[in-house]
Structure 1
């Protein structure tokens, strides 16, 4: 198995979990082979992009044959470190945070929310899903063994909470607040603004309609 010679583009890296999820579904369906066209139709990424993404990792398929599902699944499982479980902290147990706790991630991949924090006394001590909500002031003493966090607090306190997370060693933050938080260079933040995504969806629906054949 060939390893990529250089760091792969970030756009490609973001698509890898998408490929992995679809391949996992194919595996459970008992499918042995898949073409780039089938992959393209399933994950809504054009075939040329898929072939280019895969090319960063060497020869993963054969022309005229397509891709071996089990081989690709095993390859991406190792590439995405699916053998390594990652514990995540949830900061903010409002409607969105509660939904995350009920869903949790262990059902689908190798990440799971193991701790949750909130400032609302009505929520502190309450068990949601499999996690008991802790008071926000315990962040500093109770996050020493976790490196990733989901931020679902009000935007007005997002930066303050982020500063506290950075101090205790959090290295990755999935930010669902509208605030654009500032972090040191060694901390990665992925911003997910649901209102912006919805506005983008409506814009594309109106200006780029899909022509079904």
Structure 2
């Protein structure tokens, strides 16, 4: 887990990208890699990579580059990859069902262990290996299964009420796929994923390039 609060958010977001590529290199038997090679692979300029790595001290050697296995293991520990994190999915609609099919297990540290929904036709079933519980069981199951993180894919008008319940259940982080902007205690981290906003931003940049 990232414990150094002085690491910029942009750097923290790039760490999983670096880690995934280092795993690929390690599985391929590569022993060392330069910042230039990393740059070409992950599409982040080498100066940014060196700056990102500098927040963690001397990770490489001048003239040698980075030891792939050592760097991979370092980031695995930094990203808490050696600890299984149980995740709850709240809202098993179209998006929620798609997320259940997503192979979170490829990270080796993330497992969606429970899902919750208000639809009685869904509750009591197992979807893609994940049991779906009634909303009335949410607080109890989160406590029993020691779930730390929740993914929220419910209609916006219900989001805040559910967040209040999640906080009461002890949830520490929420990945919010709803358009609602949620409030929670400072001890609970909320990350918003606004697909419409991201798409509109992409369209804006696309049209800006076409106009050049």
TM-score, L = length of structure 1 = 0.91
Please name the residue that 1:15 is paired with.
14
Residues 104, 113 of structure 1: 8 Å contact kept: no
Any idea what the Cα deviations from partners look like across 1:25-72, whole Å, max 9, x if unmatched? 111111112111121122121111110010111111122222111111
Please name the residue that 2:180 is paired with.
179
Provide the rounded CA distance (Å) in 2 between the counterparts of 1:89 and 1:5. 26
Please name the residue that 1:67 is paired with.
66
Provide the rounded CA distance (Å) in 2 between the counterparts of 1:163 and 1:35. 46
Provide the rounded CA distance (Å) in 2 between the counterparts of 1:26 and 1:203. 35
Please name the residue that 1:78 is paired with.
77
5+ residue gaps in structure 1?
none
**Structure 1: 4+ residue segments shifted above 6 A:** none
Please state how far the C-alpha of 1:208 moved relative to its aligned partner: 4.1
Secondary structure of the residue aligned to 2:174 is: strand
Secondary structure of the residue aligned to 1:62 is: coil
Any idea what the Cα deviations from partners look like across 1:131-186, whole Å, max 9, x if unmatched? 12111111122211212100011111111111110111111000011111111111
Please name the residue that 2:200 is paired with.
199
Q: Does 1:162 align with 2:163?
A: yes
Q: Does 1:125 align with 2:124?
A: yes
Provide the rounded CA distance (Å) in 2 between the counterparts of 1:50 and 1:200. 25
Residues 81, 107 of structure 2: 8 Å contact kept: no
How many residues align? The count is: 206
Provide the rounded CA distance (Å) in 1 between the counterparts of 2:94 and 2:81. 29
Q: Which has the higher helix share?
A: 2
Please state how far the C-alpha of 1:103 moved relative to its aligned partner: 2.2
Residues 178, 193 of structure 2: 8 Å contact kept: yes
Provide the rounded CA distance (Å) in 1 between the counterparts of 2:100 and 2:4. 39
Please name the residue that 1:38 is paired with.
37
When residues 81 and 5 of structure 1 are mapped into structure 2, their CA distance, relative to the original with a 3 A threshold, is closer
Any idea what the Cα deviations from partners look like across 1:99-158, whole Å, max 9, x if unmatched? 121224113330110000000111111211111211111112221121210001111111
5+ residue gaps in structure 2?
none
